[in-house]
Amino acid sequence: LRLDRGLSERTIESYLGDLQLLEKGAQKNLSALEERDLELELSNWRAAGTSTRTIQRRLSALRAYVEFLRTTQPDHLDPTARFEIKSEKRRLPKTISPKSLQAILEAPKTDSPEGLRDRALLELLYACGLRASEAASLERAQLKLHEKLLRAFGKGGKERLIPIGESAAAWLSRYLAEAYPKMN
């Protein structure tokens, strides 16, 4: 999965957990899993209130496993073949009010190196729409402050070139000039 599909470690860990859960629930080896076993597990998951999104991920994990099995056993039957779980309607995320956003951005006390770091990070998250994992893995070489750009690596190792807003650029510059040297 890592090499063939470029999936992240987190996704691989989730898939592994899903497969272990399925094997435990079905009480048989996954390679011996049949359609009726999967049907029973789906029924159990629904009865337990498992979300459609989680069920879809579990089926996706099993499909990936079956696809792998078929590389060495081309005739292996796919117990997932007739199962298609309809997606739930995707809801738009709730927005934060400008007043609340301002309070969050201004929360760090910028009279300490850590406070400057936190303010710069919050500004960057907001201005660039970064995922927390993208921001946490940023390295200084990925910042092009003079061009107001940064390179981020997101899900699946996909690279994005992102413009940095004025306020975020100003806070980042201040952090790098005043606090970064003290913290490293």
Is residue 161 predicted with pLDDT exceeding 80? yes
Q: Which residues pair with 143 in a beta bridge?
A: 150
CA distance 25 to 67: 21
Tell me if residue 64 falls in helix, strand or coil. helix
Residue type, 167: S
Is residue 180 predicted with pLDDT exceeding 90? no
- pLDDT of res. 65: 87
Which pTM value belongs to this model? 0.59
Q: Kindly state the DSSP code that residue 141 receives in the 8-state scheme.
A: G
- pLDDT of res. 181: 75
Phi-psi region of 109 (alpha: psi -120 to 50; beta: other; left: phi over 0): beta
Tell me if residue 135 falls in helix, strand or coil. helix
Is residue 33 predicted with pLDDT exceeding 70? yes
Which residue would you say has higher pLDDT here, 47 or 182? 47
Which residue would you say has higher pLDDT here, 91 or 121? 121
For the chain, the distance separating the N- and C-terminal CA atoms, rounded to the nearest angstrom, is 36
The label of the residue with tokens 């081309």 reads: 74
Is residue 88 predicted with pLDDT exceeding 70? no
Q: Which has the minimum average pLDDT: 16-20, 88-92, 100-104, 170-174? A: 88-92
- pLDDT of res. 142: 93
**Which is it for the CA torsion 13, 15, 21, 24, positive or negative?**
negative
